[in-house]
Amino acid sequence: MIELMRPFLPAALIATLLAVAMPPVHADLPDLGDVSAASLSGADEAQIGRDAFRAMRESELVIDDAEVNAYLNQIGQKLSSGAQMPGMHFTYFAVDDNGINAFAMPGGYIGVNRGLILTTQSEAELASVLGHETAHVTQHHMARMKAASAPNQLLVLAAIVAGALAAGTGNGNAAFGAINAGIGLSLSNQLSYSRDFEREADRVGMQYMSGAGFDARAMPTFFERLQNASRYSDNNALAFLRTHPVTIERISEGQDRAASYPLRMRADSTDYLLVREKLRTEQLAPDEAIRYYQSALNNRQFLNEGAQYYGLARAKLAARDVAGARKAIVQAERLLPDNAMLVSLNAEIIRASGDSAGALARYRKGLETYPSARTLIYGELDTLITIGPRSAALARLKEQQLRWPNDPELYRREASLYADRDPLRYHAALGNAFYFEGRDNAALEQYQLAAAAPGDDFYLRSSIEARQRELAARIKADGKKAR
């Protein structure tokens, strides 16, 4: 059960989502592409997806893990590059739900449940799901369903909102179930469209997979395995099958289509193997995770031995067994190629042992090899903030902000450096964090507090005033759309 603490959607956002959902349908337009564009514009799709993603993130349905989401976006961008859609930005993210499911929202937002990632038995299987969902976006299936049946589109958006509200009650599984049910209704309420869309997503998704270097045969293989599993027990696989109806004919068609692609014997990446185990350790209690990994290692039941030691190291660290974690990470590093995730966990273990200077050295050595690894950047900054001096932490933070000016996590660390010292810069930094997360009301509130705080910094105050005007205008415009 996921415990969600914050409320989900304000009434204005609900109204905005539903208002955007119902523009007039022009049935006399000549083809599906034009109908979908007239029915739900690119701007509408982007706004719906952005608002729904922001709401899910605020309710902590999105797994806010830099390593996990960086990996998903890395593999997702390889797939979506085959779409050749200039100006289209895709966002791939992990969802804090143990059910086996994935979904695509308007505007290129593609979510995949923790449970589905753990169910895959190869990176190609995960790529098959992400490719399939990417195809739903690139083929504008939601907009085309809207063009065919406007009430259906209203129902799917209402379901997203219903899931959002359920999340606010603390029932994360029910919340995400409502969201998935709505998306499933959008794609399967009318079987003629459902079959066409699912087959088209299979076909196009396979093109993306093969173009990215994955074996297209993994798609029908994974779908068939889920269908077979569902025959023997009412398990989590049914969630995926309900929202992505799979038939014997569809699997057979997929197998025939995949046979036309070249066979690609591609080894799973280290990132894939480690992300799976990181997600598993976050799903299980520390003692339970330790038993799981020890049993898997003793019985030789695993995809990769080194990844099992990585998971064991994470589980031992969570159980505050620093010595055990150190032994496990040494084994993982012995068995696996060098990887930023291994460096990050090693530094985390060193820091947990009380050796902050050693941890700082490990982070910095890792950044020489992986200068863009966000977890190493965050780890170095957090260690500097802890051990000081404050000036060194602030100088390093400013360097990273020049490289990553839109990263809200950097602004949160900046705020921590100014807390109880400089109200102007504290509230401005926190406002920037909210701003780049798309949380307009929270950002405006922080900018207002910054504007009222003492302090002389003409440039900073000018930027705060500009952001206040921008946000006030956007919030006002959203309010008008909601009416």
Would 331 be classed as within a structural domain? no
The Cα 313–Cα 323 span in angstroms is 10
Decide: helix, strand or coil at residue 15: helix
Assess whether pLDDT exceeds 50 at residue 233.
yes
Long-range contacts of the stretch 30-35 (C-beta < 8 A, 24+):
32/144, 32/147, 33/140, 35/144, 35/147
CB neighbourhood size of 442 (10 A)? 17
| 150-168 vs 141-148: helix crossing angle, rounded to 10 | 120
Tell the burial category of 361 from Cβ atoms under 10 Å away from its Cβ (0-12, 13-18, 19+): middle
Provide the b/e sequence for 178-200 (b: ≥16 CB within 10 Å).
Answer: bbbbbbbbbbbebeebbeebbbb
Would 452 be classed as within a structural domain? yes
Would 291 be classed as within a structural domain? no
37, 149, 241, 328 from 140: Cα distances, Å: 9, 14, 21, 46
The Cα 463–Cα 293 span in angstroms is 51
For residue range 175-204, list pLDDT tens digits in order.
Answer: 555 555 444 444 334 433 367 788 888 899
Q: Minimum mean pLDDT among 6-15, 136-145, 201-210, 399-408: which range?
A: 6-15
Would 289 be classed as within a structural domain? no
Quick one: which of 397, 315, 314, 392 has its CA closest to 356?
392
Would 193 be classed as within a structural domain? yes
Length of the chain: 483
Q: What is the separation of C-alpha 422 from the centre of its chain, rounded to a whole number of angstroms? A: 34
Domain that holds residue 233: 11-258
The Cα 415–Cα 108 span in angstroms is 31
Choosing from 235, 258, 281, the residue where a domain stops is 258
Q: What is the pTM for the complete model shown? A: 0.82
For residue range 285-336, list pLDDT tens digits in order.
Answer: 999 999 999 999 999 999 899 999 999 999 999 999 999 999 999 999 999 9
Would 374 be classed as within a structural domain? no
Quick one: which of 273, 278, 272, 270 has its CA closest to 315?
278
CB neighbourhood size of 323 (10 A)? 10
Task: Indicate the pairing of strand 102-105 with strand 109-113.
Answer: antiparallel
The total number of structural domains that make up the chain: 2
Decide: helix, strand or coil at residue 215: coil
Choosing from 258, 274, 301, the residue where a domain stops is 258
79, 80, 290, 320, 437 from 212: Cα distances, Å: 6, 9, 35, 40, 30
Q: What is the mean pLDDT of the chain?
A: 81
Confidence at residue 47, expressed as pLDDT on a 0 to 100 scale = 78
Would 352 be classed as within a structural domain? no
Would 6 be classed as within a structural domain? no
For residue range 237-293, list pLDDT tens digits in order.
Answer: 555 666 666 667 778 888 888 899 888 888 999 999 999 999 999 999 999 999 999
Decide: helix, strand or coil at residue 235: coil
The Cα 430–Cα 442 span in angstroms is 9
Q: How far apart are the first and last CA of the chain?
A: 36
For residue range 400-440, list pLDDT tens digits in order.
Answer: 999 999 999 999 999 999 998 999 999 999 999 999 988 88
Choosing from 239, 258, 277, the residue where a domain stops is 258
Confidence at residue 476, expressed as pLDDT on a 0 to 100 scale = 86
